[in-house]
Structure 1
């Protein structure tokens, strides 16, 4: 019995881990993934903010999934009739894998809008490469501003625009503001031109869709740090010199960070399987109708929401984690281990890290802010991390004691992280318990 899992994000990682426990070695579990690690996305903004090392949130698959066979590559084709998947290897080769059961957990990619100049001039935020590049870019703009004689150029380089005030955009803004304030403080010539951050969203509140009290708390923190939060506003056009907003104002800037959301990996539609809104159609047991040997979970799957009939579950990490486990249980049940069960999830709340000593959270729907929310947030992340807890905690302590490093690493050139072709991330960057 061979079980192939496509993707090692939150859903795929949890599915593989659960199958190892349920099958007791009776199945050959194969994971196909572009990297040899599972990326713990909720802490990625802290990598961009210079707080923690990226290795702390890069969980090695071989160490944490002993017994799983890892195939490095990206799946580019599925043949449900032949029960095979084809994949492209990291060095240009290709291969074919036969399966008895298939779990599609391909995750999501950047959601682009038809806005002129965005694909060419914006920075995405979907993985380690993007986080490291953004960190270098922020530091570089401050250093170039310090060297500039033209006040207009200096002001443009010290202006940073983030589009999307959801989880990712809010946390990237919070961490980026603290990083640039720290680095700019080491450049006395910039005292009269402090970093300026703009956070844009067409929604009526920061963190759209979340509890209004949490959203208001996050907005208060950002505004207290002099972040210019503009709701009901987005970008009409992006250029190398700045962005034109939907209110027709032009903001000179060299930095545009695109955090407007995600869409399912295009592989799902190319596979010829039934889809809804670009997501793989599955039933309440995560099985693809008409294809009893194929299961879907995470961002790639349109999973019926039992609490809201007629709707699908949101593209969040907490759904992906639990769907991965349910998919694994149902795959095991399909070959006689345990019983099949429907996906059911009770929302336990969310956490949003705002950097420094600030956060907002609503564990069990009790709204928290400040130090208590910060403690809950960090405690949750340490408990949810499959590995790297010591590295993460050490990074937090070092950053609190000596500040954030203010030098570029130069590891990721800009051409390696284009917004329109960024490597798909295999789970959603939302935070939950």
Structure 2
């Protein structure tokens, strides 16, 4: 009996660790990822200003997994009918699988945007954005960030703070097609984030649609905006292994009887019929439910039960709140309350450290707190 977890991000690593503690001895567990490390994605923007954060937010998988087999390979295709995964180094059959491959940057076929827009999904991306920002600081130039979701607002704040650290007169402009920043989040959070961006010196322009990009300018409806560097965080799409789509999964998180999809790789609709926002908090909570359900299915199969599935837990998402860092400031919401300043920064540090501690990377958790609050 083989269980395969595809991806070792928030969803994949949380799921794999839970399965290690739950699955019966007769089950094999294989974790597949392109990298042999786990990346704390929601802290990636910090690397733009503080390169040393990279050490705290990358965790070798062999340090946090006990007995699962880790296979370092790229997932190229998933054949759910045959229950087979095609990898860059061969094939892998499964009895049960979970697609936890996260999401890739969506460029929406906008001319030039994929060619000239710097994404923010990996450490190399953060380092490239840092280099481009330092070059722009040297000439008191302009940085344009396309897309004001959480990644966009956080990286815009880092760009402005990096310019302040360098005493550079860098112009940072954040563009958003919708009518508010952080458009998928509650209004009180949106307002507080907008205010924090203003205070950080970021020019925010909402209701602006990027139509194309060249090597030195972004084209908007009726306007050409020159730049020295262009960062694109304007949306997400599914992983290439599933055709770039983010399939819908519902209360039990299954694509079919044997395959789950967890985290940003899917569009999750919870047991109450609510669309779940793509976020680390959601991915971790989904993984906990998926682990319970996969374990039940595996045990039922090994016990020879047939004709019906065991009862599976439904996933319900109840967000405790939302948080974002904006340069040296932060915004957090807990229920209807909004926090900024030192208290919000402490909450932000606690979230990252809490995740690292939960996966067994305690020393890195301490290092991250020191970087966040130092």
Taking structure 2 as the reference length, the TM-score comes to 0.90
Provide the rounded CA distance (Å) in 2 between the counterparts of 1:44 and 1:245: 28
Q: What is the number of residues matched between the two proteins?
A: 360
Q: Tell me which of 250, 259, 264 is aligned to 2:233.
A: 259
Quote the Cα distance in structure 1 between the aligned partners of 2:153 and 2:249: 32
Alpha carbons of 1:25 and 1:176: their partners in 2 closer, same or farther (altered >3 Å)?
A: farther
The correspondence for 2:246, drawn from 279, 295, 303, is: 279
Deviation at 1:79, TM superposition (A): 3.1
Asked if 1:301 is matched to 2:266, the reply is yes
Tell whether the 8 Å contact from 2:103 to 2:237 is kept in structure 1 after alignment: yes
Root mean square deviation of aligned Cα:
2.0
Cα deviation, 1:366-388, whole Å, max 9, x if unaligned, reads: 22122222222222221122321
The farther-off stretch of 359-368 and 195-204 is: 359-368
Query: What secondary structure is seen at the aligned counterpart in 2 of 1:257?
Result: strand
- Is 2:205 the partner of 1:230? yes
Task: Pick the aligned partner of 1:177 from 152, 155, 160.
Answer: 160
The C-alpha deviation readout for 1:285-340, integer Å capped at 9, x for no partner, is 12223xx2222211222432223x3x542222222111112111111101227952
Cα deviation, residue 233, structure 1: 1.2
CA gap of 1:235–1:334, structure 2 versus 1, over 3 A, is same
Equivalent position to 1:109, from 82, 104, 112: 104
CA deviation map 1:245-289 (0-9, x unaligned): 22x23222121100111011132248xxxxxxx333434212223
TM-fit CA distance, 1:51: 5.9
> Aligned match of 1:161 in 144, 152, 167?
144
Residue 96 of structure 1: CA displacement? Answer: 1.5
Q: Give the corresponding residue for 1:389.
A: 365
Would the alpha carbon gap of residues 202 and 327 (structure 1) be closer, same or farther in structure 2, given more than 3 Å must change? Answer: same
Output aligned runs, 1:95-106, within 5 Å. Answer: 95-106=90-101
Which residue does 1:429 correspond to in 2?
none
Alignment partner of 1:378 is 2:349:
yes
Name the structure 1 match of 2:305: none
Aligned-partner SS, 2:352: helix
TM superposition shift of 1:393 = 2.5
Q: Decide whether the 8 Å contact of 2:77 with 2:242 is kept in 1.
A: no
How much has 1:81 moved relative to structure 2?
A: 4.0
**Is the contact made by 1:50 and 1:135 (CA closer than 8 Å) also made in structure 2?**
no
Mapping of 1:30-429 within 5 angstroms? Answer: 30-50=30-50, 52-88=52-88, 94-143=89-138, 145=139, 158-183=141-166, 185=167, 194-246=169-221, 248-269=222-243, 278-289=245-256, 292-307=257-272, 309=273, 312-336=275-299, 340-356=312-328, 358-385=329-356, 386=359, 387=361, 388-396=364-372, 400=374
2:19 aligned with 1:5 = no
Cα distance in 2, alignment partners of residues 4 and 37 from structure 1? 17
Query: What's the TM-score once normalised by structure 1's chain length?
Result: 0.78
CA shift, 1:102, in A, is 1.2
1:244 offset after TM fit, Å?
Answer: 2.7
Preserved CA contact (<8 Å) 2:39 2:57: yes
8 A contact 2:271–2:314 mirrored in 1: no
Q: Secondary structure at the match of 2:82?
A: coil
1:286 and 1:296 in contact (8 A); partners too: yes
**Is contact 2:270–2:314 with CA below 8 Å preserved after alignment?**
no
**Contact 1:233-1:245 at 8 Å conserved across structures:** yes
Q: Aligned to 2:247, what secondary structure does the other structure show?
A: strand
Unaligned runs of 5+ in 1: 89-93, 146-154, 271-277, 401-433
Contact between 1:108 and 1:264, CA under 8 Å: does it hold in 2? yes
Report which structure shows greater RCO (CA 8 Å, sep ≥6).
Answer: 1
Q: Describe the shift of the 1:391–1:345 C-alpha distance in structure 2 as closer, same or farther (beyond 3 A).
A: same
Provide, for residues 134-192 of structure 1, a one-character-per-residue CA deviation record: whole Å limited to 9, x for no partner. Answer: 1112112333x2xxxxxxxxx5xx10000111101000000111012212x2xxxx6xx
Conserved 8 A contact 1:348-1:365: no
Distance 2:366 2:269 in 1: 38
